[in-house]
Amino acid sequence: MPPVVPPFLIGLIAAPLAKRLFKPLMRGVVKTSVGLVLEVKKVTAEAGENIHDLAAEVAAEMVAAQIAAGDGGTRSNDDRQGAASGSPKDEKEGAAAARADGEARAPKIRATAGSGKTH
């Protein structure tokens, strides 16, 4: 009959061997994973910057187009009709011009939901 080796003895022998083998393997896996995460973060940040740059360029082009259209001296049909009829839009512009002449606008006071609470 062959000698019986208890399983715990096999574990006592195999554990240090497994530790020596798996520790460098796991260290490499973790190091690679961290490197990939950092690279993804970098690429994502660059993509975000590119999107913000593109949005700023488009906004600048839109403003430039609006300024160029406004400097031409042409007025749209809505502007011509509003000027002829004395619309409320003209009244608002007149009030804004009067305030610009020196009148100060009174600040609005807003009540908040937690104004009566004490801390």
For 24-38, write each residue's pLDDT tens digit: 999 999 999 999 999
pLDDT digits (tens, 9 = 90+) for 50-108: 999 999 999 999 999 999 988 654 555 555 555 555 555 555 555 555 555 555 555 56
Establish if 103 belongs to a structural domain: no
Residue 89 domain-assigned? no
**13, part of any domain:** yes
Residue 98 lies in a domain: no
Q: What's the pLDDT band for 119 if we cut at 50, 70, 90? A: very low
Q: Examine residue 77 and state whether it is found in any structural domain, yes or no.
A: no
Of the candidates 77, 78, 96, which has an alpha carbon nearest to the alpha carbon of residue 87? 78
pLDDT at 70: 83
Amino acid at 17: L
Does residue 37 lie in a domain region?
Answer: yes
Q: Is residue 72 part of a domain?
A: no
DSSP helix/strand/coil, 79: helix
Rounded-to-integer distance, Cα 17 and Cα 20, Å = 5
Q: How many CB atoms lie within 10 A of CB 87?
A: 14
Q: What percent of the chain has pLDDT above 90?
A: 38
Reported as a pLDDT band with limits 50, 70 and 90, residue 13 is confident
Looking at the structure of the chain, the number of domains it has is 1
Distance CA 72, CA 95 (A): 26
Q: What is the pLDDT of residue 114?
A: 54
pLDDT at 38: 97
Domain that holds residue 49: 7-60
- Cβ(90)–Cβ(83) below 8 Å: yes
Residue 111 within any structural domain of the chain: no
Q: Read off the pTM.
A: 0.42
Which of 73, 58, 100 minimizes the C-alpha distance to 50? 58
Per-residue pLDDT at 12 = 84
